[in-house]
Structure formats: C-alpha cells, structure tokens
A and B are shown apart, each in its own frame.
Chain A
Amino acid sequence: MAKKEKKEENKYMNEEILISRTYISKEDFFSDIKINGLKLEVGGDDDQIWFIDNKSSKTLAIVDIIFKKGNNFKYSKEQNLIIQSINKPYENGVFYFFEYRDSKIMKEIEKSLNIDGRDIYILLDNDDEFKKVN
C-alpha cells in the first residue's frame, strides 16, 4: 500500500525555491554536482538544467538557470511575482526554481552544492518559511 502511494506521489513534480547569497552559475552546477547514476543536460530554451537518471532516462529534477548580467539577475515576470510574495531569509539573494520528482534527489543535489559563502536556504512547495541547508 505504502509502495503504491509512493509511486502515485512520484507522478508529478514537487517544487522548491533555493536562495543563495552568491550567484551559482550554470558551470557551477555542472562542476559541483557529481552524483552516481545522474547526468545533467541543458534543456528548455537553454534556460534550464535537467537532472536525468542515467538508466531510465527519466527526468528527476529541473532547475531554471538564472542568468546574470552585471549585478542584475534575469528573472521572468512570474518569478519576480513569486519572489515578492515570499518571506525571504535575507535580501539580495539569488533565487533558483527547482522542480523535482523525489525529495531524495533534491537532498543529493543540495549536498553536492558548495555551500561556502553561499548561505543556502530552501523553500518547499507551499511552506511559509525557508530552511537552511547545512
């Protein structure tokens, strides 16, 4: 029964917003994240990184790449609306929008990311408060 429920739950993507004090570039994602059985691909309109299961070729997670021009970060209008509506742990952070199929993969990604100087917090689905990644 529990197995069936788990399978059902994995049918759709969950959401997570990550805030970092410093910018995490596309190249940072590719160099930081080395997880067995997982490959990274640039997708969408070259504005996303897709995390793919090597064996099944299933999409496990997707993150929108935030482009940086000078000191400005390029968010979509909708992303800006979301940023305005949430309680942030600090101002002037850089936001990353993830979708993922299973919380295990997000934990692996968070573990892989270098947190030094980045001060990373995450906000899950419809939670109200960000939680710090240690």
Chain B
Amino acid sequence: MKKKVAKKVGRKINILSKNKTYYKNNKRYCETDIETNHCAIEVKSGKGNDLKKQLDKYSLVTHKEPIGYAPYMSNGSKKYVRKYYSLFDDIKTLIKYLIQKGDGKKRKKGRK
C-alpha cells in the first residue's frame, strides 16, 4: 500500500517533503508524511489510529490543508474524521484533489 502511495502520488504531484518532523517547546510534536505546496497528507496503512488528532496537529504546525489517506479505516472512523477534514480512501481521487489544489506536476513541452 505504502509503495503505491509514494510512487503514484509522486508521479503526478510535486512533493516538497516526506516525513518532516516538527518541534514544539523543544519536543518532537508531529511528523507529516507528505507535504505538497498546498497540502499536508497523513498516510494511514491500517485502522487509522487517531487520524483526526494527527491532522489537528498538522493544522497547528503548517498553514497547509491537512488531508488524510486511509483506505482501511472503519466506516465509523471515516465518518468521524470527514466531519473535520478531507479524507480519501482511493488514491486516484486523492491525486485528482491535489491536482485541483494546484499541486500537480507541470507537463514538459512537447508532451501530450
């Protein structure tokens, strides 16, 4: 799952950083999985442990839109997180959303 996320997102989206650690009061506060120009994405490989709490932290440390990608979360957890943040369980929809936000890679001249 993780390989697919890294490869597929990176193919079409400009990724600025991966696994960036933020500090608060000299303590490690949170680590963003992927950052683009406009979004900070948390990738969840399992049940989505405390995704909302992590995205809350993202919004405190970056001025970017916090986004979740968690294909295996339970419906109850998804419903809860979606009250507050954009959450995707499908990679194509995530990429489409990031492109809409302006984070897509520019096509090279001469390519269709």
A interface vs B, CB < 8 Å?
A: 5, 8-9, 11-17, 41-46, 50, 52, 59, 62, 64, 76-79, 81-82, 84-86, 97, 99, 124-126
Contacts and interface: CB of A to CB of B under 8 A. Distances in A.
Contacts of A12: 2, 5-6, 19, 33, 43, 45
Q: Sort chain B's interface into a size bin.
A: 20 to 34
Contacts of B27: 41-44, 46
B66 interface: no
Contacts of B43: 12-13
Contact of A81 (B5, B21, B53, B76): B76
A97 B3 contact: no
Contacts of A99: 49
Contacts of A5: 3
A17 B47 contact: yes
A12 to B, nearest CB: 5
B33 A78 contact: no
